[in-house]
Structure 1
Amino acid sequence: MQDEDYMRRLSVGNDSALDTLVFRYHKPLYGYVYRLLLDEKLAEDIVQETFIKIYRQGKRGHIPDQFKPWIYKIATNLCKDHWKKASTRQEQFTDLNLETKGQIHHIIDRQLERQWMVDSLNQLSIEYRTVLYLRFYQDLQYAEIALTLDISINTVKTRIARGLKHLEKILKEDDRKGVGVNG
């Protein structure tokens, strides 16, 4: 069954339909929100609030045309609401520990490379970071990203292109400074 079918079931009183949607989307949605907020507890709260909103909308009979972009839109808007709060406006910096030892050297290298990429992405503006996370970590298509963020497909394409260009500069600068994985 399609996600929209589960929303239809929810709208006619089948509360267990939400279970399937939670099963399908909790992990990828949590990963997306965590990458945006860099806070495990807050990410979990946002994901839970997202599913509560979905449940309430379903009970009201709302069935989105495309569920996947809709759920990411809800989560993205909740993240935006969080950022708007004055109490949450603080810069977050993470330190990389690039030391590798022992027989698990290659595993640590891969993890560090991934962390370096995430840290580099987090240096981008939220507009670029959001489209890149949705495209490359959540595997949404351009049209789905456009629906999620209420922007045109051309804006999505532009933000992805510019975001990748900025990311490339950050990675090259880090590499030049010796901050990267091999530094």
Structure 2
Amino acid sequence: MQDEEYMRQLSLGIDTAFDTLVFRYHKPLFGYIYRLLHDEKLAEDIVQETFLKIYQQGLKGFVPDQFRPWMYKIATNTCKDYWRKPMSRLEYATDKEIEGTGQVHHIIDYQLERQWMVESLNQLSIDYRTVLYLRFYQDLKYSEIALALDISINTVKTRIARGLKLLENILIADERERG
């Protein structure tokens, strides 16, 4: 069944339809938000807030034309709301410090390369980083990214092209420093 049909069912009061959407999209949504915010606890909170907003819209009878871009738009806007609240950033940073750095990391080439890529992506502005994550990690089409971010397809194409070029320059510079 299509996601939009689950939203229709939710609008009719069938809560199990919402459970299916959560099951289907929790992991990819968490991955997207975590890559933007770099904080596991905060990412989980924003995923929950995103699903709460989806649920509330469904109960009001709203059914999006395309569910995935609409969901990512809600998630992106929720992240933007978070960044507009300096107090909440401070609270979460404090929580992160309290957790400490007692994690054990296994050093595997793949993980190092992946970490290097993520660190390089994180050097990009939020505009470039967001379109690259949506395209390459969430596998959204240009048109879906445009809907999710409320920008034109040409802007999506431009940001992806420029973002990739900037990323290439960052990776080349990092490689020179390492080599």
Same fold (TM over 0.5): yes
1:86: Cα distance to partner? Answer: 2.2
Q: 1-side partners of 2:85 and 2:60: how far apart?
A: 29
Unpaired segments ≥5 residues, structure 2: 94-104
Structure 2 residue 25 is matched with structure 1 residue 25: yes
Kindly report structure 1 stretches of 4+ aligned residues shifted beyond 6 Å.
none
**Paired residue secondary structure (1:61):** coil
Alignment of structure 1 residues 75-94 onto 2, 5 Å: 75-87=75-87, 88=89
Alignment of structure 1 residues 11-160 onto 2, 5 Å: 11-87=11-87, 88=89, 108-160=108-160
Please tell me the root mean square deviation across aligned C-alpha atoms, in Å. Answer: 1.6
Normalising by structure 2, what TM-score? Answer: 0.89
1:143-172 Cα distance to aligned partner (Å, 9 max, x none): 000000000000000000000000001000
Equivalent pairs counted in the alignment come to 165
Q: 1-side partners of 2:159 and 2:46: how far apart?
A: 25
1:71-118 Cα distance to aligned partner (Å, 9 max, x none): 0000000000111112328xx9xxxxxxx9xxx87xx00110001000
1:112-144 Cα distance to aligned partner (Å, 9 max, x none): 000100000000000000000000000000000
Q: 2-side partners of 1:21 and 1:86: how far apart?
A: 31
Question: Percent identity at matched positions?
Answer: 75
**Greater fraction helix:** 2
**Paired residue secondary structure (2:110):** helix
- Give 1:7's aligned residue: 7
Unpaired segments ≥5 residues, structure 1: 93-99
Q: 1-side partners of 2:63 and 2:48: how far apart?
A: 19
Q: 2-side partners of 1:81 and 1:14: how far apart?
A: 30
1:15: Cα distance to partner? Answer: 0.8
**Paired residue secondary structure (1:13):** coil
Q: 2-side partners of 1:18 and 1:115: how far apart?
A: 34
